[in-house]
Amino acid sequence: MKQSILIIAGEASGDNAGGLLCEEIKKLQPDLELFGLGGDRMTQAGVNLLYHINRLAFLGFWEVVRHIPFIRSVERDLLLATDNRKPALAILIDYPGFNLRFARKLKARGIPIIYYVSPQVWAWGRKRIGKIKSLVDKMIVVFEFEKELYSREGMEVEWHGHPLLDIAGPMMDRAEFFRKAGLPESRNFIGLFPGSRLQEVARILPVMRDTVMAIRSSGMDLIGIVGSVSGIEDSVYREITGNNFPLMKNMTYDIMANADLNLVASGTATLECAILGKPLFVLYKTSPLTYVIAKILIKISNIALVNVVAGKRIVPEFIQSRCGADNIAAEISDYFSNEGYRVKMSADLENVHSKLGEAGASRKAAESVLKMMFDAKN
């Protein structure tokens, strides 16, 4: 039987990291079969997907509860494929609600487990580390402070830097970008990134739209360009913004790199801005029930990854009730009128960038995966 690895990522950021990792694994061992759960990036890297992440893009406590029967069927199908293909090891990427439960079943089958991109144990409380330790053979983390957390608990853990460092950069120069956008190169604009899930776009993009309209009404000549994603139809964005906001699909880095400011849904995109050295404000809204539960469980004061890595609040966070157009527009006005504000944010973002390590993380992680597979075989 052909040697194989099971790999599971349940959301867009995990698919991105998984795709980069799988590309490097395939370069090192082209005949290896990769199968599991992921998205477009992992498909492009040669992973045989049993399910696409578009079918698991649930957000919020009630949404997950409502889809439990489907989630259970995904687990059953993955286990059936695992029993048939007998992978040499499994790679679980973030997505702890699913992956930690699935890890128990893998461990019962004696399959070695690498956890790549740690769950945010520093946000949800460190008790979860004990659970991870009982299930996982090796952690490969993307933040240096996470390595310290797991090392303290006696786990085998590696940190090679953040995989985004290899890919976060514009595809075109400034002149070409503005030609593609159909705008003069002198045009000032705000990049709008409302998230990769339908529910995020539905809740956050209207706030972004109203914020841009508010600052334009105040006399600031700024437009908003929406960074859309391939998993969501253009009609979804248009229904919210009309035809007054340019829509640019899968051009995240080019929009970020050329924007005067970015409004970003909390998540990996905040780190992408830091790597590009571009200013950002962080927005997030979810259902009232999910927010109440999260407030009880989350143990840290900042949720934006740039602020977590910095160890302090370096960019504003507009969360839930504070995520309103008037609040954000007032802060934008302050940002553009205050040079000291802009200079300090730029310096703080550069510091975050420096804390993410060096390029080549995906290659080093792939080498670690294949070494563990070889060791397990022998």
Residue 185 domain-assigned (yes or no): yes
Q: What CATH number does the domain containing 290 carry?
A: 3.40.50.2000
The answer on 147 and 187 residing in a single domain is no
Residue 169 domain-assigned (yes or no): no
The answer on 100 and 190 residing in a single domain is no
Residue 78: predicted pLDDT: 96
Retrieve residue 243's tokens: 């035809």
Contact 79, 50 (CB under 8 A): no
Residue 50 domain-assigned (yes or no): yes
Residue 168 domain-assigned (yes or no): no
The answer on 121 and 90 residing in a single domain is yes
The answer on 145 and 35 residing in a single domain is yes
Residue 196: predicted pLDDT: 86
The answer on 129 and 55 residing in a single domain is yes
Cα separation, 100 vs 92, in Å, equals 9
Retrieve residue 53's tokens: 């992440």
The residues near 132 (Cβ < 8 Å, ≥ 6 apart) are: 100, 115, 119, 121, 139, 150, 155
Domain containing 277: what range? 174-354
The answer on 146 and 65 residing in a single domain is yes
The 10 Å Cβ neighbour count of residue 122 is: 17
Residue 124 domain-assigned (yes or no): yes
Can you give the pLDDT of all 378 residues of the chain as single tens digits? 689 999 999 888 899 999 999 999 999 999 999 999 999 999 999 999 999 998 876 555 546 666 788 889 999 999 999 999 999 999 999 998 899 999 999 999 999 999 999 988 766 666 778 889 999 999 999 999 999 999 999 999 999 999 999 999 999 999 999 999 999 999 999 999 999 888 899 999 999 999 999 999 999 999 999 999 987 999 999 999 998 899 999 999 999 999 999 999 988 999 999 999 999 999 998 876 666 666 655 666 788 999 999 999 999 999 988 899 999 999 999 999 999 999 999 999 999 999 999 999 999 999 999 999 988 776
The answer on 210 and 97 residing in a single domain is no
Residue 300: predicted pLDDT: 64
The answer on 231 and 123 residing in a single domain is no
The answer on 342 and 367 residing in a single domain is no
Contact 90, 8 (CB under 8 A): yes
Residue 297: predicted pLDDT: 58
Question: What angle, 0 to 180 degrees and rounded to 10, lies between the N-to-C axes of helices 339-354 and 325-337?
Answer: 100
Residue 18 domain-assigned (yes or no): yes
Q: Find the DSSP H helices in the chain.
A: 12-28, 40-44, 61-66, 68-85, 96-108, 121-124, 127-135, 144-152, 174-181, 198-217, 234-241, 252-258, 269-276, 288-297, 305-310, 325-337, 339-354, 361-377
Residue 266: predicted pLDDT: 84
To the nearest 10°, report the CA torsion of 263, 305, 138, 89: -10
The answer on 144 and 22 residing in a single domain is yes
Name the domain count of the chain. 2
Residue 267: predicted pLDDT: 86
The answer on 131 and 212 residing in a single domain is no
Residue 54: predicted pLDDT: 85
Predicted TM-score (pTM) of the model is 0.90
Residue 167 domain-assigned (yes or no): no
Residue 302 domain-assigned (yes or no): yes
Residue 319: predicted pLDDT: 92
To the nearest 10°, report the CA torsion of 54, 55, 56, 60: 90
DSSP class of residue 184? -
How many CA atoms does the CB half-sphere of 120 hold within 13 Å? 15
The answer on 195 and 75 residing in a single domain is no
Find where tokens 């409302």 sit.
194
Residue 189: predicted pLDDT: 97
Residue 46: C-alpha distances to residues 208, 273, 371 (Å): 36, 28, 20
Residue 331: predicted pLDDT: 97
Q: What are phi and psi of 210, to 5 degrees?
A: -65, -30
